[in-house]
Amino acid sequence: MADLITQGWDEYRLIDSGDGRKLERYGKFTIDRPEPQAMWSRQLPDHVWQNADAIFAGDQDADEGRWNFSGKAVPEKWETNYNGTKFYGRLTPFRHVGFFPEQCSHWDFADAQLKKAENPKLLNLFAYTGVASLLAAKAGAQVTHVDASKKAIGWAQENQQLARMEDAPIRWICEDARKFVAREGRRGNKYNGILLDPPKFGRGANKEVWNLFDDLKEMTELCRDILAPENSFLILTTYAVRASHYALYELCREIFPEANVESGELVLEEEKSGRKLSTSLFCKVIR
């Protein structure tokens, strides 16, 4: 068991957290948004928080909220990058900003693993705006990017254009992830890497219903059948707070009995205090 701690990079830092919120720096902008895991008190004075450039009004579980602004004008989307690969940050109605900074540990791991393989193939499921897809393609992988949201696919393709990776070998597929993986299994297709980042609840392209606690076991079994038997990996990440990384660990250990399995939490570390904020759970399977 091992937590993966992100201290940030040039374009991102966790500045402070507490009272159910987190204050982050994205490039030149500071953003204040909900974070129920931050049950402690804030360390920075109120005026620092009040001067955030964008503040999300609405709680963690709200279907939709709004952004309030002060200080610098924050556009709907702005350019950012990770290790030189450009993509957009964006303010969404659901408090998200177009990517999850804590997942950079997964991006680095996938990069290292894919560079070891010959003609690697990576499958990115529930793939959102495609940052991991772009980074995997840059590492030399043929990437299949699957998301049931046409809007998310469109955002991912905008990121591809911004990164000037229009010729990268990426397939963009708007489809229910579970149906796609089942069909890949029937076809006998195999992947060197699978990124599985399911929501707690969701609906597929044709109104298929997804419930993490009901459907994750079947989904992981379907992924097992298309994961290459050697020199391959699967990374499962979930933001379901009432789950435990031990639950993910035991699930993957059962489904992949021959593999090395690790689990833990993705953690952001505050820039000055070093205080740590857990954001999500992960399980990593290595064949």
Give the start-to-end residue ranges of the domains of the chain.
9-75, 101-286
Q: What is the residue whose two structure tokens read 């303010």? A: 91
Judge whether residue 59 has pLDDT over 80. Answer: no
Q: Give the model's pLDDT for residue 245.
A: 92
pTM above 0.75, yes or no: yes
- Rounded mean pLDDT, 164-185: 97
Judge whether residue 60 has pLDDT over 80. Answer: no
- Rounded mean pLDDT, 61-80: 83
SS (HEC) of the chain: CCCEEECCECCEEEEEEECCEEEEEECCEEEEEECCCCCCCCCCCHHHHHCCCEEEECCCCCCCCEEEECCCCCCCEEEEEECCEEEEEECCCCCCCCCCHHHHHHHHHHHHHHHHCCCCEEEEECCCCCHHHHHHHHCCCEEEEEECCHHHHHHHHHHHHHCCCCCCCEEEEECCHHHHHHHHHHHCCCECEEEECCCCEEECCCCCEEEHHHHHHHHHHHHHHHECCCCCEEEEEECCCCCCHHHHHHHHHHHCCCCEEEEEEEEEEECCCCCEEEEEEEEEEEC
- Rounded mean pLDDT, 245-274: 95
Segment among 5-9, 73-77, 89-93, 148-152 with least mean pLDDT:
73-77
Q: Give the model's pLDDT for residue 65.
A: 79
Q: Give the model's pLDDT for residue 244.
A: 87
**CATH superfamily label, 9-75:** Golgi alpha-mannosidase II (2.60.40.1180)
Q: Which fold has domain 101-286?
A: Rossmann fold (3.40.50)
- Rounded mean pLDDT, 239-264: 91
